[in-house]
Amino acid sequence: MRRLLVASAVFLAACQSAPLRPDAPTPGSRLEKCGRVLGLGEGDAWDAGMVESPTVWYDAAARRYGMLYVGYGRKPGTTGYGYAKVTAPHLGLAWSADGRTWTKDPRNPVFRGDVTGATGPFLMREGGLYHLFYISTTEAGYEKGTKTIGHATSTNLVDWTPDPLNPMVAPSGDGWRNEAAWRPMIVRDGERYVMFFNASGVIGGHHEEFIGLATSTDLRHWTVDDARSPLLGGTPTPGTWDAMGRAGDPSVYRVGDRWYMAYYSWDRTHAQDGLAWTTAEAFPYGWRPYAGNPILRVGPPGTIDAEHAHKPTVFRHDGKHFHFYTAVDTAQVRTIALAMDGGCR
């Protein structure tokens, strides 16, 4: 326990050092909300219970944006919305000409998972294949059962082959990832791939979600850097936006000689998005919180994100900075919304 307490103190001190000032040029920090971009399915549709957590890309050949998103159906006989009223999560496709107006693919859902369900997707294309990384769940309901990180491949985004080596990352040990492995996000760093992901575990007696990393040279065999993880957590300081100590759903991008990570935290009432940054020399380590956090706040009563504005997915293309997020209103309606750095026009 003494080792965990010392590690916790060092970890929290590192996360709080040398924050970037709010007045410094920080790409992705000055967001304007553009509203809901993907809503619930109608009636008894597969995604009529919730939609959330997209991964987004641009198809240059087709000149359109693509999105894989998470959908939950409604449990039979239930009314209203909420965690206890949904079925297992599956993944669907949507398409857009401008990144703001989206149309769902009639073939949905395109991926149901390799156990019970799949959520928290990340998509990349390498070697002529689409590589899908996702949270694999083992029970029906909202993020139920054992959570591990899975991998599947496809040539057409519809027919998927789960990797026989699954899971790629699983809970392990008695520390920061002993309970669950959550949403992955991958970047290529020279000859290797770096997977950032959040995991549930304990540090110094504090149970929460923290962001760490794993590395691979082939996208199939991953080594978790437990020695230097977690990389990022919440403060935790009472009264702050990240008072619970959580850091989840990393979304990483580079601008110039700095790397940035959008992530979310919560204070037991609202979940909101923040930023962290590091230098090119220190990457993939050295993450520090942005002093202007949170960069995305919940909306006023009656709006689509009055409860939570969280789970970021950042996508930068053609000079535009898209910040997709999961919006939750006070009735627990969970949909996908968009904010943009520099305005919505």
| More confident site: 23 or 34 | 34
Q: Which residues pair with 259 in a beta bridge?
A: 254, 278
**What is the pLDDT at residue 251?**
98
**What is the pLDDT at residue 330?**
97
> Is 53:249 a contact under the CB 8 Å cutoff?
yes
**Residue pLDDT, tens place only, 157-216:** 999 999 999 999 999 999 999 999 999 999 999 999 999 999 999 998 889 999 999 999
**What is the pLDDT at residue 117?**
96
Please count the other Cβ atoms lying within 10 Å of the Cβ belonging to residue 39: 15
Please count the other Cβ atoms lying within 10 Å of the Cβ belonging to residue 156: 8
Q: In what order do the strands lie in the sheet with 192-203?
A: 180-189, 192-203, 206-216, 223-224
Distance CA 315, CA 313 (A): 7
> Is the confidence at residue 254, as pLDDT, over 90?
yes
The continuous run of DSSP H or E covering 11 comes out as helix 2-15
Average confidence score pLDDT of the chain: 93
| More confident site: 10 or 87 | 87
Domains in the chain, ordered, with CATH?
Answer: 2-341 (2.115.10.20)
Confidence class of residue 275 from pLDDT cuts 50, 70 and 90? Answer: very high
Burial 187-205 (b: 16+ CB within 10 A, else e): beeeeebbbbbbbbbbbbe
* Phi, psi (rounded to 5 degrees) for 63: 55, 50
**What is the pLDDT at residue 236?**
78
Placement of tokens 């689509």 in the chain: 304
| More confident site: 58 or 237 | 58
Distance CA 212, CA 248 (A): 10
> Is the confidence at residue 238, as pLDDT, over 60?
yes
**Residue pLDDT, tens place only, 102-131:** 999 999 999 999 999 999 999 999 989 999
**What is the pLDDT at residue 297?**
98
**What is the pLDDT at residue 24?**
61
**Residue pLDDT, tens place only, 279-324:** 999 999 999 999 999 999 999 999 999 999 999 999 999 999 999 9
Confidence class of residue 8 from pLDDT cuts 50, 70 and 90? Answer: very low
Confidence class of residue 21 from pLDDT cuts 50, 70 and 90? Answer: low
Listed in order, strand segments (DSSP E) in the chain are: 31-38, 50-59, 64-74, 86-96, 102-104, 117-126, 129-137, 148-154, 161-162, 180-189, 192-203, 206-216, 223-224, 248-255, 258-266, 271-279, 288-289, 308-317, 320-328, 334-341
* Phi, psi (rounded to 5 degrees) for 110: -100, -15
* Phi, psi (rounded to 5 degrees) for 100: -120, -35
Placement of tokens 């991964």 in the chain: 55
**What is the pLDDT at residue 345?**
80
**What is the pLDDT at residue 23?**
53
Confidence class of residue 20 from pLDDT cuts 50, 70 and 90? Answer: low
**What is the pLDDT at residue 206?**
87
> Is 196:252 a contact under the CB 8 Å cutoff?
yes
